[in-house]
Structure 1
Amino acid sequence: MLTDPSAPKLGFLTKLLYGSGSIGYGIKDVAFRSFLLLYYNQVVGVRAELVSLAILVALVVDAISDPIVGQWSDNIRTRWGRRHPLMLASAIPAAGSMLFLFLPPAGMTDTQTFWYILVVGCCVRTFITFFEIPSSALAPELTSDYDERTSVASYRYFFAYLGGVGMAFLTLLVFLAPTDEYPVGQLNPGGYQTFAIVGAALMFAAILISSLGTLHRVKYFKMPPPPAKIGAVATLKQMGSTFSNKGFLAILAFGVLKYTSVGMTSALNIYFGTYFFEFSSAQLAILTIDSLVGAFLALFFAPFVSKKFGKRNAAFGLAIIAVCFASAPYLLRFAGLLFENGDPRLVAAVFFFSMLFQLCGVSSAVLTHAMIGDIVEESQLRTGRRSEGLFYAANTLMQKSTSGLGVFAAGMLVAFVGIDPGSDPRTLDPEIPRMLALVYVPALIVLYVGGAGLLFAYRIDRASHEANVAELARRERQSAAIAEQVPDPAE
């Protein structure tokens, strides 16, 4: 589905409305990455390995549902286009299941709670998929320009961080503020319930605003011919042919490893903040802003480095730099070069390193998101099919590794070092969080650096992308000319 050449240029408002839908995804993401493990482990009292296992199994369900939704999104035909009906239909069930995730029935055993997290967690992830995948697949339909796609992707990532970071900041500063009953605010169960209520409402609003705000662009899309009706086996073969693109497989492998490390970091940040650096909930709230600052700067930084170095080279270099900044606070503490706990300068130092980590990491993610858009045309030349939904389904699954594989890894590390449910940071042996940091940093480096090296299998640059777009346009003109020469059988 190429965009009509007569379509007006994408304006700031359209990019803004398109990107705003990611607020809902960001809220879902911060719930799974940052709060779910701590809430069920330290507040509800369920073993960390059980909670992380439930989240991991939910990721396996995603692995099945995501490409199905992507394929469906590519193949349906309505007057509202291929994407918007699914996006609009997701609003109520996604928000409703998000609400119930943090409202478990009282009196359940560990096993019953495991199944509750698994079932409700699968509902949240599946229903948000019905928005996120079609919405992501809009990007290459909105524009085919090499640099414009980076700009569109940067808005999407900024709003995802705005939703996630904004909710994390509000939750830690207000909902989880210390009280007489809960002097460690992060252990206050009522705060998590308020988080769920507010988060579900914002998720519902974001999905509707983004879906309705981009609906006017549908009239500029050139609808591809209806797909041939084929059986399940043939459909799977088509999907396999689409996914066999080497550049896409390189991005997928990089993304799974990188996002696993991001998820592990997000889940452990609140543990490190609480037990390693001994921050208050207000200080943790301040530290959540580093992600938003980094994502905002990435709005401008990612397009700049894309133009200067190309998407692949910039994504690789930024991933390597990002892991250096992420590791710095822990390495400096081990070397005795970081401020001691309680020193007011410690918050500023951790904020600085984390902000630079987020800037580089988000910019790298923006570039790989745009790189997938460029694969769409290359794949179309080879297969004859536009498969944005399928490609972005795999991209969404890649991102969900943060709250699946990443949180599972975090839960295993927490269980391994022996942070028991309900541990009080004021009485916990300081060697335990130190041990957590000692096993976390090497794992982070291996995942990031190993994943980045895989990007060199991606070969599309500006010149080859523009050649692909030109060739598709030539084929379209040729098909139109042939169609004009063929007499109508009805005449």
Structure 2
Amino acid sequence: MRKRFLNSPTAYALGMFAMMVPSQAFSSFSHYYYVEKLGLTIGLATLARTIYLIWDAVNQPMAGYWSDRTRTRYGRRRPWIFAAIPLFAATFIMVFAVPNGLEGTGLFAWFVVILILFEGAATILWVNYGALFPELFKGDRLRAKASAVTQGYQIVAILIGSAATPLIYKALGFGTMSVLYAVIFAVFMLLFVLNVQEKEEAASAPPLPLREAFRETLKNKELWFFYLACSFAQTVNGLVSSLIPFYAKYALRIEEAQVSLMMASVFVSVIPLVGVWYVIVRKLGGYRSWRLAFVVYAISVIPAWFAQGLAGGIAAGISIGFGLAGFLVTPTVLSSEIMDRDAQRTGRRREGMYTAVGGFLTRSSGLISALAFYIVGIIFHYESGDNPGPNPEETFRYLLTVVPLCLLAVSFVISLFLKRTAGPGDTAASPGGGGLDV
């Protein structure tokens, strides 16, 4: 039984579940907690995110490079994951366990330091976790299946990290909530890492030197176009997660206790819709499905502009869920193909470096999200929960509909620069599932 579970899509998906429970709580409520609850100004919050992104630009490629160079009897990726588990758990707790009395500059300094520490631990986990995917799963069919299973587990984690979080912090407080999620993360992350085994042949070739590794990675046009398109769409994911508490309060005018229902409308609907997108990928192939997902996602945010009250918010949430499901399922197959083509060209597996550079590009969406929040906030004079301005309702309707629509339009335009060709992952059973050409 354990042999069948070893390296299975379900075993791999446990890692996604483990990381996404605290990560979703962080992305959905850290901004809300510091700005709305603790009174940190939106300007300082944006500055903190900018500092975090500069740090991210440094640690992502280095984490990938050192992961690719690692050679142990336990593999290249697993030792890094083991080491990062306690660091990630501890820093996540520190995000929400803010010492009493901090405000102004002191609160800002705490937020910056914790962002840097939390991001460092998260980078090690995500880079090494993502690098395992193309090694463990070969071919479009298996990768589409593994992606669908993984995203199903991710959505369950997102549901816990978003919809359940308001209930938990209201009953127990933010600090206790962070401890609970840290324990959940550690248990499931250990279950994941103990049930995956790296393949020896993947690490047989010596790694490229640092300069050459960067040069080979950065000159890959497929990588840049793919991840740039994903970066703008990922910004929408972050906006949806982080803005729902604000949108529910100011636009829908529902009570804080009902925010969980609004969150659930988005993420519960995604679970069955992931299966729908798996079928779409099988029918259209990875490239066309990926491009279609941007269009569907853009259309799906429009109902949120017109929604009124809890019922309207739930209907809008279900619509957003369909678009979100498409973007969760479709990118993984294409990113794995890019890594396969690189391995064919260089003779080396460099999943760590590719995952790191791609992770930086997509996670730079955090800055785009923060800048969008800041600019729209200035336009409508929203500063913080203490000073929401004269029209906070319109502020958050724009942020949840108009801004995502524009960002997804940019993603779609960038996706047009990628052309479908036959690739190493093609199979007769996967029409349209070829590689990419620029």
Q: Among residues 391, 411, 419, which one is paired with 1:459 in the alignment?
A: 419
Partner residue in 1 for 2:76: 82
Answer whether contact 2:300 2:322 (CA < 8 A) is retained.
no
Question: Conserved in 2, the CA contact under 8 Å of 1:263 and 1:405?
Answer: no
1:360 and 2:323 aligned: yes
Shift of the alpha carbon at 1:196? 1.2
Q: Distance in 2 between matches of 1:453 and 1:10?
A: 42
Shift in CA distance, 53/409, structure 1 to aligned 2, threshold 3 Å: farther
Q: Within 5 Å, which residues of 2 pair with 1:145-224?
A: 145-176=139-170, 191-214=173-196, 217-218=197-198, 220-224=199-203
The secondary structure found in structure 1 opposite 2:423 is: helix
- 1:140-169 alpha-carbon deviations (Å, 9 max, x no partner): 111211121122122333323322320222
Distance change (3 Å), C-alpha of 1:416 and 1:207 = farther
1:76 to partner: Cα distance = 0.9
What is the SS of the residue equivalent to 1:397?
Answer: helix
Q: Is 1:378 aligned to residue 341 of structure 2?
A: yes
The answer (yes or no) to whether the contact 1:315–1:365 under 8 Å persists in 2 is no
Change in CA separation of 1:284 and 1:302 when aligned onto 2, cut-off 3 Å? same
Question: What is the Cα deviation at residue 238 of structure 1?
Answer: 2.2
SS of the residue 2:314 aligns to? helix
From 231, 248, 254, the counterpart of 1:273: 248
SS at match of 1:222: helix
Q: Distance in 1 between matches of 2:151 and 2:378?
A: 32
Name the counterpart of 1:487.
Answer: none
Aligned counterpart in structure 2 of residue 225 of structure 1, from 198, 201, 204: 204
- Matched to 1:407, the amino acid is A
Listed as ranges, the gaps of 5+ residues in structure 1 are: 1-7, 178-189, 333-337, 342-346, 469-491
Partner of 1:446: 406
CA offsets, 1:281-337, max 9 Å, x none? Answer: 23210122234324322442232111211111111112111121112121x3xxxxx
CA–CA distance in structure 1, aligned partners of residues 241 and 30 of structure 2: 11
TM-score (norm 2): 0.89
Query: Structure 2 matches for 1:309-458, cutoff 5 A?
Result: 309-330=284-305, 332=306, 338-339=307-308, 341=309, 347-423=310-386, 429=390, 431-438=391-398, 441-458=401-418
Q: 1:104 aligns with which of 93, 98, 110?
A: 98
The residue aligned with 2:219 is 244
What CA distance in whole angstroms lies between the structure 1 residues aligned with 2:154 and 2:361? 15
**Identical-residue share of aligned pairs (%):** 19
Preserved contact between residue 139 and residue 426 of structure 2 (Cα < 8 Å): no
Contact residue 33 and residue 407 of structure 1 kept, 8 A: no
Alignment root-mean-square deviation, CA: 2.6
- Whether 2:38 is the aligned partner of 1:59: answer no
Question: Quick one: which amino acid aligns to residue 260 of structure 1?
Answer: T
How far does residue 228 in structure 1 lie from its aligned partner after superposition? Answer: 5.6
Return 437-446 or 94-103, whichever deviates more: 437-446
Q: 1:369 to 1:247 in 2, by over 3 A?
A: same
1:467 Cα deviation from its structure 2 partner: 6.6
Q: In 2, are the aligned partners of 1:37 and 1:411 still within 8 Å (CA)?
A: no
Q: CA deviation at 1:399?
A: 4.2
Letter of the 2:227 partner, please give it.
L
Cα deviation for residue 94 of structure 1 reads 0.4
TM-score of the two chains, using structure 1 as the length reference: 0.80
Q: Distance in 2 between matches of 1:71 and 1:432?
A: 45
Q: Would you say the 8 A contact 1:302–1:363 is kept in 2?
A: yes
**For the Cα contact (< 8 Å) 1:319–1:452, is it kept in 2?**
yes
Give distance in 1, aligned partners of 2:317 and 2:33: 23
Does 2:123 match 1:129?
yes
Aligned mates of 2:163, 2:426 — CA distance in 1:
45
Tell me the secondary structure at the aligned position of residue 464 of structure 1.
Answer: coil
Cα gap change, 1:439 to 1:407, in 2 (>3 Å): closer
53-62 or 391-400, which deviates more? 391-400
Q: Deviations over 1:362-410 (max 9, x none)?
A: 3223211221101112112222221111121233334434544323422
Q: Which amino acid aligns with 1:67?
A: P
Q: State the shift of 1:105 in Å.
A: 2.1
Q: Which residue identity does 2:124 align to in structure 1?
A: F
Name the SS for the 1:77 alignment partner.
coil
Alignment gaps of 5+ in structure 2: 428-438
Instruction: Tell me whether 1:118 sits opposite 2:107 in the alignment.
Output: no
Matched to 1:211, the amino acid is V
SS of the residue corresponding to residue 120 of structure 1 reads: helix
1:267/1:407 contact within 8 Å kept: no
Letter paired with 2:403: A
Residues 427-467 of structure 1 show CA distances to partners (whole Å, capped at 9, x for unaligned) of: x75x3322442465332211111112212333355x42347
Question: Which AA in structure 2 matches 1:238?
Answer: A
Distance 1:158 1:228, change over 3 A: closer
Q: CA deviation at 1:90?
A: 0.8
Q: Deviations over 1:68-124 (max 9, x none)?
A: 111111121111111111111111010001001112222334222212111111111
Task: Give the C-alpha shift of residue 35 in structure 1.
Answer: 0.9
Q: Is the 8 A contact 1:100 1:120 kept in 2?
A: yes
CA deviation after TM superposition for structure 1 residue 416, in Å: 4.0
Deviations 1:246-291 (A, max 9, x none): 2221111101111122222322221110111011223210122234
1:362–1:173: structure 2 CA closer, same or farther, 3 Å change rule?
A: same
CA contact (8 A) 1:26 1:160 kept: yes
Query: Could you tell me whether the CA contact under 8 Å between 1:73 and 1:389 is conserved in 2?
Result: yes
CA contact (8 A) 1:52 1:412 kept: no
Q: Deviations over 1:169-214 (max 9, x none)?
A: 222124226xxxxxxxxxxxx6222221112111222221111121
Change beyond 3 A, Cα 1:244–1:224: same
Task: Give 1 or 2 for the bigger CA radius of gyration.
Answer: 1
